[in-house]
Structure 1
Amino acid sequence: MNELTEYYTSLIEHVKASSDVEGRLVEFEFLSYILDLLSDAGEFDDYVIVEDGRDGAGRWLIDGYSFDTSNFSLSLFVTLISSSEEASTLTKREIESAIKKLSKFVKNTLTEHLPSVFEPSSNCYQAARLVLDNWSDISRIRFVVVSNRPTSDRMRDVILDDIDDRPCTVHLWDLKRIFKLESSRNEREEMIIDFRDNPLPCLVAHDDTEGEQSILAVMPGTRLVSLYGEWGARLLEQNVRSFLQHRGKVNKGIRTTILNDPSHFFAYNNGLTTTAQGVVIEQTSHGPMIVELRNLQIVNGGQTTASIYSAYVKDKADLSRISLQMKLTVLSSEASTELVPRISRYANSQNKVSDADLFSNHPFHVRLEEFSRRIWVPVRTGQNAQTHWFYERARGQYLDSQAYLTQSKKKQFQQLHPRSQLLTKTDVAKIMNSWDCLPHEVSKGAQKNFAKFAELIDAQWEKDDLVFNELYFRKLICRASIFRALEKVIMKEDWYTGYRANLVTYAIARLSYEVSENSLDWNLDVMWRAQVIPEAIMMTLRKLSYAVHELLLSEHRPVGNPSEYAKRQMFWDTVKNLECDILEVSTLLISKADVMEQAVTSKKVQKIDDGIDAQERVLKTPKKIWDQVELHLLDDDAATPALIGILQVAKNPAKLPSEKQSTVLVKLLSRYSERLSLEHIIKN
């Protein structure tokens, strides 16, 4: 059995099992799983699944949609799934048939009287309403076909006609592409930008033997708009920053210059600071030309890019006289991890970039990962032994951990680490922000919510990282268990018609808000040891979910589309006023004073653990590193006798530094980590 066949079997078994539990059609359970994966990978931010979007006569369909307000692209989803024992090849004819029906949905939306085609109370009506209401802003349409079947390597691209002057493209996620993404160690699928039809003139300012290059170029505004229209926020992922819709002074100034003084745009604007992991340059009679870029990233100039794009789409701005200087640094994949965060931090002068913007390398993840591998979860109903919740700090860790195991060892691994207990970074952000009363942030989608979560965690880490201890991890798992249980339960309610993600986050936030307002908190010891989730919690959350559902889908809501309404602070303010009786869950609550006492104890334990970890790290650090640290201290005129004395202990293999000394030494490593990393990269 090859890897792809094994993956197909594992994926369909997981989806079927989840479908049975949740009472949901396999097609939509599969689509939800894949769209979560693609959302995590930055393909789009939030999405809505439409479970009633198939015409009985087979003329049109829509299984889901996503509207990206940063580059005004509309994504429409359709799933083509097989439940057979072996995956059959997906044909071009099947793909074209599905896309034709998606196109028909859009055309009906634009040309027909909506209530005569779509039931007004249905989710497909809401989808049609969103398309119609935003049609003037929509710049392009992406038809996304998701399938657990592989396509032939020889299949040609599907070419589509425009719809009302909106370019349409097909994005196919078949079994092979999904497997490659999920099993890859990369957070994102590789991005190849082809300039061969219109090469970009450049000047190579620096080119070393290790492959690092510094390149200068001038980027035409029209070319930048084309890139952003195709790739969207994926170009900006290294400096997670939301476009401010021209509310900030910088964006207003950019827009004004584009519209009123385009000839001076180049002079006024600082341009783009970019990185890439590969470049192809051809020498021509007109000089060197960039013909291909791999994994281009805009690390400074994200707001400029989005502002130019918005002016082009919304104001129909003429960009023929708009161009920007572009500084491009080409780095290897390994060097990118070390240097891109620094380039981003140093290059951004207009708007401060915090450590939260560079959160993918934050030590919070490392600690959470360590807890997830070490801490056993008590035996739950339906399980025969204790298990772990697997925290996937980096893309592909879960599958990679099983890649070279025998069948028996792989089965054992999956029993100890069930796929249902897999947590990604965006999962954690969604769960914790829901319980911490930020449902409007969660409703904005995986990436925006993660950016908010990163900001909050980074601030707390700087203030006191000891709060992220074993108690925090147990709280996370208890919250995750309830969150996922509610996701399943809500699907079976008679009143349920969609918008599960919004209902779950708001119901949990409302309950959590009420508990906090009464100066209470959850008794984690009881909830951690419980073999089942207390029925009192689920009953209360089901009632709240229904109440949120009634508000969200009310005909009198001030915002037309429910998913858009859920992103607003005003909806959360309304939900706060819903009746919430916590009497039924009172036996699971304790005073905040008791919780504080538990927190103090947990912080003390974490401090001891940190000391032991620091000792271990010091012992594993080579003497040559400590020599370099000492030189940096001397260069900075910061070499006090006490620090030099502690460094001598670290250099002596016969001496064991104390926990206190080790903590100081680890801080020195952190202080000089950037210089030490640079030295390592240069030498290697």
Structure 2
Amino acid sequence: MPDQSDLSQDYPAFREDLLREAETLGEPQQAVLFSTYASLAAENGDTSDLTYVPILREGARPFQVDGYAWDPAQGELHLAVCDYHSDDELQTINFDRADQLFKRVRRFCELAIDRDFVQSLEETSPSFDLASLLFEIQGKIKRIRCVLFSNARLATRKKTLEADDLIGAQMSQSIIDFARFIDIQNAQGGTEPIELDVQELNEGELLPCLDAHDGDESVESYLIVMPATLLARIYGLYGARLMEQNVRTFLQARTKTNKGIITTAKDEPGMFFAYNNGITATASGIVVGQDENGQPGIEKIEHLQIVNGGQTTASLLYASDHGSADLSKIFVQMKLSVIDPAKVDDVVPKISRYANTQNRVSEADFFSNHQFHVEMQKISRRLLAPVMEGRLAGTKWFYERARGQYRNETARKSAKDRNTFQAEFPRNQVIQKTDLAKYQISFRPDPAMVSLGAQKCFLGFADEIGKKWESERAAFNDAYFKEMVAKAIIFKSLDREVARAQWYKEDRGYKANIVTYTIAWLVHHLNKQKKKIDFELVWKKQEPPVELQDCLELLAPQVANLLKTPPAGFSNISEYAKKPACWSRISEADLECSDDVLEATISFDEAQARSADNKAAGKIDIELEFEQLLFTESQRIVGLEAFLRQKGLLSPNSQSAIGKLKRHQFNLSKSEKRALEHLFKRLDDEFDAGPKQWAKEAAA
């Protein structure tokens, strides 16, 4: 955990960013705090993607909720409440303040299951949205996860607490204060470490274990018989934070509870250990003690992550919540690998990949580490954007493929170098991978998927790009990146203008839905005329053409009105926006749209011609990149010959190619190049790395 002095240094930059964002977007500062924390919490596994619902009543019996998410498959309701401090310096709060805010959330939930209270609320208000949902699903909620977002520092260390039942569901409470916010940010794309006091959670008992490692200093292995009650209790407290990111993605993509696991747990608990494949998990450290009989047992686990068996874990909790199984009779086998923290980023993804092959986890599920991101990052660091009118120098767009990259780049530089870096990569020209998914899917157009939230939207995008990468690798080049940036420019510009519009200020709410649906409607409308937005023009101007911007601003309040007046049967606007039926209705709506927007478009034929030219250029770029690889890494490749022959990986053509490289001849035939490309792909699959790592593995 960062100490107070470190936090005092981090806070001014955080506050400056928050104020700048609030001013740019025209949003209240507390709303920006919510979106900042909610995004981080979802990526860390603390919550699902939260919908912003600023609900507040002061007075004798105050209540407050700032965000929610409902996961019907797991029966989990996620709620968030904000504690925003406008002070220039970092403040400290005690747990009494946190408890007050949690009580406000509890009070709203208790009121919302009363029909009279729901009917007393204004139907277009966020309060009605959430209250009506709670009233409808109250009997289906098995677990409530409530999180407090605070830009102050909590005086006590414990951040996750078990609580009493609430409206018939088990409730857990957690806190993301500023110290924890920084901890999560510093995890750089991984999850914030969880420190488990196993003995405390296991009713004072150690967790028996069998030492099974072979002496490798970087990894220690243990075999464990895990009581289902302990596993369910840990998962009940920490939820998706326990899941290694790829497994969390896997579970999000496949929300159906495993009926086979539930049936075994209910009907044959004594056979669960024999029938179930068990769990594979990793940790960065453990504390092993001895019980009263001198037998080894685990006292504490640092950064426990389940890399295979997430479905088993979630299903056992489901069985417990629904009262269909007696977990005290169930035990689960677990293989726990304790990994040197310096090697976690390299080893854990491999364990996850290999452990999940039986479950058909696709490449899209591992998309966070996909080569697509590496390519977009590489292009972003070298491609200079055109100089905007009124400026002297061009800038670049920073693609952030791992959380915190931009912040880390600026943090480790001197003041002078930081200013130079930010002049080259302005803060408002950062694109995060989840934001990229939002932009691309909006223009697909599929605003209902965007409305599902950042993580689910990213899954859809990953599936699409994962398939396209395999079949059309050449399409992902400079031209693709320029179009990607153009979509970001259009989206961000509309988002900013909607927030500033008087019609929106008079009736705030649902801005994220309004923006994606407005863009989607226009794209759909232009498609019917066989027209496409001229993204090349947007890239050259580095802003939307006036005709395009004016049209979107004309459409936005019309789209907002449609969203806020759903048809009968849909009382919750945020949930309605997630339905294909919503997009079907809005896409066919007859909205006022200026013909001037056609000045910012091109025909389908011209778009296809540009695409063909760009793909041809992309193929040339790939060929040049491959030629450069052969030239710079030829000796490493030659050095692998004996290893490749031993593994039976050499074909006649690849052997012929390596023979030429030995003689420093680079004029390879097409068949020889294809053979080497195929060989490199097989090596990539084996080692998840390039020629340097291949050589290292071969030497080992």
Q: TM-score, normalised by structure 2?
A: 0.87
Match of 1:14 among 14, 17, 20: 17
Q: SS in structure 2 opposite 1:554?
A: coil
Distance, in Å, in 1 between the alignment partners of 2:669 and 2:137 is: 60
**1:105 and 1:632, CA in 2 relative to 1: closer, same or farther beyond 3 A?**
same
Q: CA deviation at 1:296?
A: 3.0
**1:332 and 1:658, CA in 2 relative to 1: closer, same or farther beyond 3 A?**
farther
| Structure 1 contact 146–174 (Cα < 8 Å) conserved | yes
**1:349 and 1:474, CA in 2 relative to 1: closer, same or farther beyond 3 A?**
closer
Aligned to 1:242: 251
Match of 1:219 among 226, 231, 247: 226
Q: CA deviation at 1:61?
A: 1.8
1:461-503, Cα deviation, whole Å (9 max, x unpaired):
1111111111111111111111112222222352543122222
Mean alpha-carbon deviation: is it higher for 455-464 or for 73-82?
A: 73-82
* Structure 2 spans left out of the alignment, 5+ residues: 688-692
Distance, in Å, in 2 between the alignment partners of 1:125 and 1:577 is: 28
| Structure 2 contact 138–167 (Cα < 8 Å) conserved | no
Aligned pairs (5 A) from 1:255-294: 255-284=262-291, 285=293, 287-294=295-302
Aligned to 2:561: 550
Aligned pairs (5 A) from 1:269-348: 269-284=276-291, 285=293, 287-333=295-341, 335-348=343-356
Q: CA deviation at 1:505?
A: 1.9
Q: What is the aligned-residue identity percentage?
A: 33
Asked if 1:356 corresponds to 2:359, the answer is no
* Structure 1 spans left out of the alignment, 5+ residues: none
1:211-266, Cα deviation, whole Å (9 max, x unpaired):
31333222333223223222223333223223688858xx2333333333333333
| Structure 1 contact 618–666 (Cα < 8 Å) conserved | no
1:3-48, Cα deviation, whole Å (9 max, x unpaired):
6444322222222222223332111122222222322333323112
Mean alpha-carbon deviation: is it higher for 30-39 or for 420-429?
A: 30-39
Distance, in Å, in 2 between the alignment partners of 1:405 and 1:173 is: 28
Q: SS in structure 1 opposite 2:58?
A: coil
Match of 1:467 among 475, 500, 513: 475
Distance, in Å, in 2 between the alignment partners of 1:205 and 1:683 is: 26
**1:254 and 1:490, CA in 2 relative to 1: closer, same or farther beyond 3 A?**
same
Asked if 1:375 corresponds to 2:378, the answer is no
- Across the aligned residues of Structure 1 and Structure 2, the Cα RMSD in angstroms comes to 3.3
Mean alpha-carbon deviation: is it higher for 396-405 or for 490-499?
A: 490-499
Question: Which one-letter code corresponds to 2:411 in the other structure?
Answer: A
Q: CA deviation at 1:381?
A: 6.3
**1:8 and 1:340, CA in 2 relative to 1: closer, same or farther beyond 3 A?**
closer
| Structure 1 contact 255–307 (Cα < 8 Å) conserved | yes
| Structure 1 contact 183–399 (Cα < 8 Å) conserved | no
Q: SS in structure 2 opposite 1:238?
A: helix
Aligned to 1:88: 91
Q: CA deviation at 1:682?
A: 10
Mean alpha-carbon deviation: is it higher for 52-61 or for 559-568?
A: 52-61
Distance, in Å, in 2 between the alignment partners of 1:415 and 1:2 is: 29
Question: Which one-letter code corresponds to 2:448 in the other structure?
Answer: H
Match of 1:601 among 613, 622, 627: 613
Aligned pairs (5 A) from 1:390-469: 390-469=398-477
Aligned to 2:690: none
Distance, in Å, in 2 between the alignment partners of 1:403 and 1:658 is: 46
Match of 2:496 among 488, 495, 500: 488
Aligned to 2:32: 29
Task: Tell me the number of residue pairs that the alignment of Structure 1 and Structure 2 aligns.
Answer: 680
**1:487 and 1:399, CA in 2 relative to 1: closer, same or farther beyond 3 A?**
same
Aligned to 1:74: 77
Match of 2:625 among 602, 605, 613: 613
| Structure 2 contact 654–679 (Cα < 8 Å) conserved | no
| Structure 1 contact 194–292 (Cα < 8 Å) conserved | yes
Distance, in Å, in 2 between the alignment partners of 1:222 and 1:631 is: 52
| Structure 2 contact 151–177 (Cα < 8 Å) conserved | yes
Q: CA deviation at 1:636?
A: 4.3
Distance, in Å, in 2 between the alignment partners of 1:261 and 1:155 is: 38
Q: SS in structure 1 opposite 2:63?
A: coil
Q: SS in structure 2 opposite 1:320?
A: helix
Q: SS in structure 1 opposite 2:78?
A: strand
Q: CA deviation at 1:454?
A: 1.1
**1:493 and 1:605, CA in 2 relative to 1: closer, same or farther beyond 3 A?**
same
**1:527 and 1:167, CA in 2 relative to 1: closer, same or farther beyond 3 A?**
same
Aligned to 2:509: 498
Q: CA deviation at 1:399?
A: 1.4
Q: TM-score, normalised by structure 1?
A: 0.89
**1:657 and 1:283, CA in 2 relative to 1: closer, same or farther beyond 3 A?**
farther
Distance, in Å, in 2 between the alignment partners of 1:514 and 1:597 is: 21
Distance, in Å, in 1 between the alignment partners of 2:363 and 2:644 is: 24
**1:154 and 1:324, CA in 2 relative to 1: closer, same or farther beyond 3 A?**
closer
Mean alpha-carbon deviation: is it higher for 506-515 or for 382-391?
A: 382-391
Match of 1:60 among 60, 63, 71: 63
Q: CA deviation at 1:671?
A: 1.5
| Structure 2 contact 112–118 (Cα < 8 Å) conserved | no
Q: SS in structure 2 opposite 1:282?
A: strand
| Structure 1 contact 202–288 (Cα < 8 Å) conserved | yes
1:569-589, Cα deviation, whole Å (9 max, x unpaired):
232222222225473321122
Distance, in Å, in 2 between the alignment partners of 1:175 and 1:68 is: 27
Question: Which one-letter code corresponds to 2:604 in the other structure?
Answer: K
Asked if 1:538 corresponds to 2:542, the answer is no
Asked if 1:669 corresponds to 2:680, the answer is yes
Aligned to 2:237: 230
Distance, in Å, in 1 between the alignment partners of 2:19 and 2:556 is: 25
Question: Which one-letter code corresponds to 1:488 in the other structure?
Answer: R
| Structure 1 contact 71–232 (Cα < 8 Å) conserved | no
Match of 1:44 among 27, 44, 47: 47
Distance, in Å, in 2 between the alignment partners of 1:18 and 1:127 is: 27
Match of 2:485 among 469, 477, 490: 477
Aligned to 1:579: 590
**1:340 and 1:559, CA in 2 relative to 1: closer, same or farther beyond 3 A?**
farther
Distance, in Å, in 2 between the alignment partners of 1:298 and 1:544 is: 46
**1:382 and 1:311, CA in 2 relative to 1: closer, same or farther beyond 3 A?**
farther
1:538-592, Cα deviation, whole Å (9 max, x unpaired):
3433454434433433363434422222222232222222225473321122122
Q: SS in structure 1 opposite 2:45?
A: coil
Aligned to 1:204: 211
| Structure 1 contact 273–299 (Cα < 8 Å) conserved | yes
| Structure 2 contact 279–335 (Cα < 8 Å) conserved | yes
Distance, in Å, in 2 between the alignment partners of 1:94 and 1:219 is: 37
Mean alpha-carbon deviation: is it higher for 357-366 or for 2-11?
A: 2-11
Question: Which one-letter code corresponds to 1:77 in the other structure?
Answer: A
Q: SS in structure 2 opposite 1:206?
A: coil
Distance, in Å, in 2 between the alignment partners of 1:643 and 1:244 is: 39
Distance, in Å, in 1 between the alignment partners of 2:294 and 2:527 is: 68
Distance, in Å, in 1 between the alignment partners of 2:698 and 2:304 is: 22
| Structure 1 contact 381–532 (Cα < 8 Å) conserved | no
**1:605 and 1:6, CA in 2 relative to 1: closer, same or farther beyond 3 A?**
farther
